[in-house]
Amino acid sequence: MNESKPTLFQDVRACVDAVIQKVGKAIVLGSPIGAGKPNHLLNEFYRRAAEDPSLQLTIMTGLSVEKPKARSDMERRFLEPFVKRVFRDYPDLDYVSAYLRNQLPPNVKVLEFYMLPGGFLNNPGAQRHYMSSNYTHVGRDMVLQGLNVFAQTVARRDVGGETSYSLGSNSDSLDLFPLLREQEHQGRAVAVIGQVNEQMPFMRNDAEVAPGTFHMVVDDRKYDHALFGPPNMSTDVTDYLIGLHASALIRDGGTLQIGIGSLGNAITYGCCLRHEDNARYRAGLDALGANERFGQIIDTVGGTDPFSAGLYGSSEMFADGFRQLYERGILKRAVYDDESIQALLNEGVITEAVTPESFDALRAHGAFGSPLSEKDFRWLQKYGIFRPSLQFVDGAIRADDGTLIAPDLTDPRSVEQIHTTCLGDRLSGGVVMHGGFFLGPQEMYDSLRNMDESEASKFCMTGIAYANQLYGHERLATLQRRHARFMNTTMMVTLTGAACSDGVESGQVVSGVGGQYNFVAMAHALEGARSVLMLRSTRSKKGNVTSNLVWNYGHLTIPRHLRDIVVTEYGIADLRGKQDEQVVAALLNIADSRFQPELLEQAKSAGKVAPDYQIPAQFRENTPERMETALSDFRNDGLFPAFPFGMDFTPEEIVLGKALKALKARTASRVGLLKAIMGAVDTPGEIPEAALPYLKRMGLDKPRGLKEKMSQRLVLSELMAAGVL
């Protein structure tokens, strides 16, 4: 991890041999969250440990995922073609299957700081070994757990005979590398490994690192494969309602943080509608009664006009929503890694167009001195203020025509010459997005790989310590993150404003804290910033509907003293700086009306609202039916589609997915299974022409044997019951 070159390997087995020789058989192996895992390397480490009980292997990571797996013949018929098409040649991580089943070998342990949401609730091993850390502390905590090997997927490029690597999707490891260097300086054996994958986008800026960053690099095309890319999932009415309200809280010219999933898609869609079809966007808000009920906070905090100045993205996760915003001309507010430039841009003193006035303003601000030093000259070229063709020779500026210009800015003649012969056209080096890691559909990875140099340089993958907090770069981050809106999902909110986002009362972990606490705290630290926690007002399990707004809860992620803005499908609650009674009232206003009376009574019993308090009439009709009706005309006109940014499912798969889900629910019990079989037997013998595309997709158009014939009849029966045939 210095200026020396790494040892190169073409085979993961040889690399693992070298690691064991270097650090021994007690291996604490770290790897990034999500798409940056080097699957072949991790699989080889796991294979060695499974075969050799004397090798103690701990895998430390986050978000261990695998491709969807079928649990029945019917699921297999549906999933296999879909998985092959969407996940391409992505190889599964061998340890994940055993980890999910709680069947890891005794000498192997998996320790995660962020779990697949809901995937390990009933997994004792995963629950025992979970490491609860703010994302900004993960590198530190990995080292405290004994980390001695770290491996990740990287991209490589060769320019002019020089090789450089990019951390690609996971520049979050930049925070870890100095900690491992320090361990190495103290005499501890450590190994940092990169596995090259040509499918990994080569991200520039902070993500581009020297070869000496790694002790070892595995580089062979047989290990190239598609990155893990979760498919685009559907966005329902509730998601859209939340996203529409949230999008009106975003300030033009501001900063945005969002996450992955349907709520992230809903916010992105709301922003696109606001920008591209503003009249219907405003009409949608009016239909929800948003301006009437929440107009004050919308006007104060956000806005409903198109994005003229545009947005800058600052998020631990570079979700696909940011790519969508960029391609639609919304993510376009560039920020610069220089305080003088950023401050003057914020104040409107300069623009991105380079002019004599902007040069003079930067000089007056103290961005460079007089006479100009060579360092000043390089700084002016770096940001496009001086043309790249200029040279600094013997203490003077050499213009393109060979004229030498004295760098004395107290001399009006020199300044005039600089104004007329040296200035560039526009500032350079600005970025529209800072992120720590990215995760998205294959289309997102394809887009990032195919960007040209000038476009790709607008995206800066960087360390989590930069993206998620202010410490160590307070002044610059404050200037860049103006009017920040940090938007995160939560599971439950108490009526006093605390939030539960990562676990349940039993202590079991649903997912992880990730960066949520950091962003909420940062929203309170930055002037003009706001934290927006979004949640569905209710949840349903086995037909039983309960409220996600609760009086109290035994596990909390965000304490009540950091309460800020909460958004449900029913609207917006501004909790910042409010008294408890005001907080309770605001949250009751956005609760589902089926649960408002009970919640109000609990608040009264605790003495948090006046005994005679009543929820205002305009907030007592918070029902799914009313909200569905409010958007129905817009949906009929083609707005708020089920898949706003592309669909990985074919039309037949959409229909079959619903039918198979219904069939699975109906056959969950023996009685239901018997009824389903009887219904299938009674299905008319002739196969309707309209059924053939669905049966072909399931491989059941020409059934062989009794089992396939029965499967065919079950599918036909379900399609008929759904009104498809």
* 159-202 pLDDT per residue, tens: 988 999 999 999 999 999 999 999 999 999 999 999 999 999 99
Nearest to 454 by CA among 384, 380, 375: 384
**pLDDT of amino acid 723:** 87
List the single range of 355-359, 432-436, 651-655 with lowest mean pLDDT: 651-655
Rounded to an integer, the average pLDDT of 461-487 is: 97
φ/ψ bin of 514: left (φ > 0), alpha (ψ from -120 to 50), beta (otherwise): left
Helix (H) or strand (E) holding 374: helix 374-382
The one-letter code for the residue type at 307 is: F
Each residue's pLDDT tens digit, 6-41: 999 999 999 999 999 999 999 999 999 989 999 999
Report yes or no: 406 and 392 within 8 Å, Cβ to Cβ. Answer: no
513 pLDDT higher than 80: yes
Rounded to an integer, the average pLDDT of 427-432 is: 98
> Which one of 3.40.1080.20, 3.30.750.24, 3.40.50.720, 3.40.50.300 gives the CATH number of domain 237-334+433-619?
3.40.1080.20
Confidence of residue 670 (pLDDT cuts 50, 70, 90): confident
Rounded to an integer, the average pLDDT of 412-424 is: 97
Nearest to 497 by CA among 570, 581, 596: 581
Q: What is the mean pLDDT of the chain?
A: 95
Confidence of residue 541 (pLDDT cuts 50, 70, 90): confident
Give start-end residues of each CATH 3.40.1080.10 domain in the chain: 7-223
Confidence of residue 564 (pLDDT cuts 50, 70, 90): very high
**pLDDT of amino acid 193:** 98
Each residue's pLDDT tens digit, 602-649: 999 999 999 999 999 999 999 999 999 999 999 999 999 999 998 899
684 pLDDT higher than 70: no
**pLDDT of amino acid 306:** 98
**Tokens read off for 338:** 């220089």
Report yes or no: 596 and 545 within 8 Å, Cβ to Cβ. Answer: no
DSSP 221-239: GGG--PPP-PPPPP--HHH
533 pLDDT higher than 90: yes
**pLDDT of amino acid 4:** 81
Each residue's pLDDT tens digit, 313-343: 999 999 999 999 999 999 999 999 999 999 9
Report whether CATH 3.40.1080.10 matches the domain 7-223: yes
Each residue's pLDDT tens digit, 185-196: 999 999 999 999
Confidence of residue 680 (pLDDT cuts 50, 70, 90): low
**pLDDT of amino acid 2:** 55
Give start-end residues of each CATH 3.40.1080.20 domain in the chain: 237-334+433-619
List the single range of 121-125, 479-483, 566-570, 659-663 with lowest mean pLDDT: 659-663
216 pLDDT higher than 80: yes
Confidence of residue 724 (pLDDT cuts 50, 70, 90): confident
409 pLDDT higher than 70: yes
Each residue's pLDDT tens digit, 81-115: 999 999 999 999 999 999 999 999 999 999 999 99
CA distances for 160 relative to 52, 166, 287, 581, angstroms: 44, 17, 59, 67
Nearest to 667 by CA among 678, 656, 657: 678
**Share of residues in the chain with pLDDT > 70 (%):** 98
**pLDDT of amino acid 415:** 97
Here the contacts of 67-71 (C-beta below 8 Å, separation 24 or greater) are 67/92
520 pLDDT higher than 90: yes
**pLDDT of amino acid 665:** 82
- Asked if the bond preceding 371 is cis, omega within 30° of 0, the reply is yes
